[in-house]
Amino acid sequence: MSESVPRKRNEPSPLRGTTVPMTRLRRVIAQRAVASMTSMAQVTSVVEVDVSRVAHLRDRVKAEFLRTTGHRLTFLPFFAIAAAEALRTHPIINAIVDGDDVVYPDRENLSIAVDTERGLLAPVIRNAADLDIAGLTAQIADLAERTRRNRLQPDELAGGTFTLTNTGSRGALFDTPIVFQPQSAILGTGMVVKRAVVESAEDVEAIAVRSMVYLALSYDHRIIDGADAARFLATVKARLEEGAFTRDLGIEVR
């Protein structure tokens, strides 16, 4: 009988038992987070979305998408295009508070939260609602890579009107993300998981395995009411559950 091989364990971090000063970036993030939480009335609304049709489309075209664009097709650009489109019809979610005024931008500049060794940064995809999935995928990949390599230009971190944070990429079902000023809302996308759900059709109920995800919208309750948030989330949910993204892929599907 062969000798059992010991299981590998995570190595202890060299930071254990040490004290280190915050980096300049971490201090800025901390100050902005506290300022946002103390100057806004922040609330989070969560919906559950069946993305099975998106998952099926993604599985069907991901090999061709990679060959054509050079990028892996993830769920994130589907969430991005659904959110950007919904902002056009629900502009209060894309709005900015300026003193006693509410400013409605004429474009949807989508900040994408990127996890780096230096801290969380959010480079901006400008005019995101004008892009297809191939365009969004390319910009997300480019911005994420250059953010992690510290090669962004300063203006690429400015001008966002709404933020998308993909906490599901790290295994979270959902969280309650913080809105950073001057924006008024942020959408957190959880991990897509297969789960048994009850389906109803013509008064017949059945249990089926579906691909499900939680979407969490945090927003500034000073200008965005719960009904506004619910309408925005319902629009995003309907777009994703319909799954009609073939014409939005930006590639020819054989």
Q: pLDDT for 161-194, tens place per residue?
A: 999 999 888 889 999 999 999 999 999 999 999 9
pTM: 0.92
Cis peptide leading into 21, omega within 30 of 0? no
Q: What is the mean pLDDT of residues 206-221?
A: 96
Categorize the per-residue pLDDT at 230 as very low, low, confident or very high, splitting at 50, 70 and 90.
very high
8 Å CB contact between 251 and 64: yes
H helical segments located in the chain: 24-39, 52-69, 76-89, 133-148, 226-242
Q: Which pLDDT value is given to residue 6?
A: 54
Instruction: Of 25-29, 132-136, 212-216, give the lowest mean pLDDT range.
Output: 25-29
Checking if the pLDDT of 23 tops 80, the result is: yes
End-to-end CA distance of the chain: 53
- Considering the candidates 203, 225, 228, 248, report the single residue annotated as catalytic: 225
Is 98 one of the catalytic residues? no
Could you say which DSSP state residue 70 is in?
S
Instruction: Quote the pLDDT of residue 3.
Output: 47
Supply the pLDDT for residue 171: 87
Kindly indicate the confidence band of residue 35, based on its pLDDT and cuts at 50, 70 and 90.
very high
* 40-74 residue pLDDT tens: 999 999 999 999 999 999 999 999 999 999 999 99
Active site residue 225: yes
**Average pLDDT, whole number, for the chain?**
93
Percent of the chain with pLDDT strictly greater than 70: 97
What pLDDT is stored for residue 2 in this prediction? 44
Q: What is the C-alpha separation between 85 and 93, in angstroms, rounded? A: 12
Domains in the chain (CATH in brackets) are 45-242 (3.30.559.10)
Q: Is the pLDDT of residue 1 over 80?
A: no
HSE, side-chain direction, 13 A CA sphere, residue 186: 25
Whether 216 and 237 have beta carbons less than 8 Å apart is answered as no
Q: What is the pLDDT of residue 5?
A: 52
The one catalytic residue among 71, 115, 132, 221: 221
Q: Is the pLDDT of residue 89 over 90?
A: yes
